[in-house]
Amino acid sequence: MRRTTWRIPALLVVMALVLAACGGDSDDTTTTEGAATTETTVADTATETTMAEETTTTTEAATTGLTCDEPVTVGVVTDLSGPLAIYGTHINRGVPIGFAYATGGEVGEGLEQTYMVDDCEIRVIFKDDQTNPELTATVGRELIEVDGADIIIGTVSSGATASLQSLALDNDIILIAAPAAATDITGKDFNENTFRASRHNYQDAMAICDQFVNNDGYQTFVQIAPDYSFGYGGAAAYKDACTFEGGEFIADDVFAPADTTDFTSYLEPFSDTDADALLVTWAGGGFVPLLQGAIDLGVVDADTVLGSPFVDNIVMPAFFSNAIGSTSTILYHYTAPDNAINDYLIEAAAAAGTFPDLFDADGMNAAIMVVEALKATNGAVDADSLRAALEGMTFEGPKGTIEIRAEDHVAIQDMYIVKLLNVDDVEFKYYEYIDTVRPQPPCLLEGDFTARCGGLPTGSLTGS
């Protein structure tokens, strides 16, 4: 099996400062579809788009005859200035592109935007929650009570998204969770007014455990995760999925506070183990000292790889510069999907002078969901009407077909297996596409909602 020797590059110090400038640490976050291994790199097969090209950001106007008695207000809560602003920026960019695509309009700018579908006006209002659950609740209430939001999209942090779930339920409006990944959102904290546009921990875990155990030959694992919902969900999903594939965990899981800067005491239990991979569930700047600590203690070395999905374009050079040639999973990279909607996303981002990043597709998908739901309800925004439209909805987005599972509101979607070729391409063309997978996670509903799971596998993959 391939082994990767890790050494902290000088760029990590730079990235630590960049991430620190964004704030502290907090939460982010199979069945194989028949794309065969290819010898062509995604850099060769991707749409030939450069930032200097003139691009259009409109699509054919919808002709649904949609009418709304009053403007529909959509509130978007994301991190624009806090510790996870590096991810919130993706949502802030992807949502307007999604509304422009779905309505046939221009990509909006600023914190208040307007889109039209026939005679239905959609107002989109953005709020910055700085990955602070208390502020999330405050801006959420403002959106509902002051701005009259009918639907909310958000947010980056899984813990903060829990605040939005309660608000949406209490005010009987619909929440579309994006990009928070904690399984609890559509698991133990499920309510009928919350839907996902993004994947959750289990989809990450099922994709990467299948790759690690069945393709890379890794058999033994240890893992560390942050001490809150995103971390618990990730750790449970990794343990279940890797065990299901035949892997073994040879030490107890370790959970560290999200604001940890010195991981020595948390990683020491792994220093005497001989695991094939250290699985890491983390989000934000804490990944830098975590990785440094793992290398210093010999937890990650020539015999033990870092087990993590590939991350966003900007942070990849810091975290994976010594892993060239390795293969892992990624939620989304703009060079992986091959469809017209992804082409539109690439062109719209290029018109803004950039390239789509890890969560741009989530933002675009959330906006498309809203427009498709309004078309289905003919503009009705009451929770009952929207819920009926969203449960079981299938629509096309930049990642291809998205299925909103009626039972638990999980968004079934493609994930990608890619090989890391470089971390210095100026257009972030880092990968060779290997395969597409489409994990079907178990239904994790609890209590009175368990009956909703119907015929879906429940509880865990291993049945424990």
| pLDDT at residue number 112 | 98
Helices 11-22, 85-103: inter-axial angle, 10-degree rounding:
70
Identify the bridge partners of residue 196 per DSSP, sorted by sequence position: 177
Express each pLDDT in 352-372 by its tens digit: 999 999 999 999 999 999 999
| pLDDT at residue number 248 | 97
Express each pLDDT in 312-345 by its tens digit: 999 999 888 888 999 999 999 999 999 999 999 9
More reliable by pLDDT, 307 or 369: 369
Q: What is the pTM of this model?
A: 0.85
- What confidence category does residue 464 fall into, taking pLDDT thresholds of 50, 70 and 90? low
Radius of gyration of the chain (CA): 21
- What confidence category does residue 4 fall into, taking pLDDT thresholds of 50, 70 and 90? very low
Q: What is the mean pLDDT of the chain?
A: 87
What residue ranges define each of the domains in the chain, with the CATH number in brackets? Answer: 11-43+202-330+417-437 (3.40.50.2300), 56-200+335-414 (3.40.50.2300)
pLDDT at 239 > cutoff 60: yes
- What confidence category does residue 411 fall into, taking pLDDT thresholds of 50, 70 and 90? very high
Distance from C-alpha of 63 to C-alpha of 433, rounded to nearest angstrom = 36
Q: What are the phi and psi torsion angles at 109 (to 5°)? A: -130, 160
Express each pLDDT in 177-195 by its tens digit: 999 999 999 999 999 999 9
- Structure tokens belonging to residue 57: 């950001």
pLDDT at 205 > cutoff 80: yes
Pick the range with the lowest mean pLDDT from 33-47, 337-351, 354-368, 388-402.
Answer: 33-47
| Angstrom distances, CA of residue 410 to CA of 23, 62, 160, 383 | 30, 27, 19, 18
pLDDT at 37 > cutoff 80: no
| pLDDT at residue number 462 | 87
Beta-strand relationship, 248-249 and 411-412: unpaired
- Of the candidates 450, 445, 452, 454, which has an alpha carbon nearest to the alpha carbon of residue 202? 445
The pLDDT of 119-129, averaged and rounded, is 97
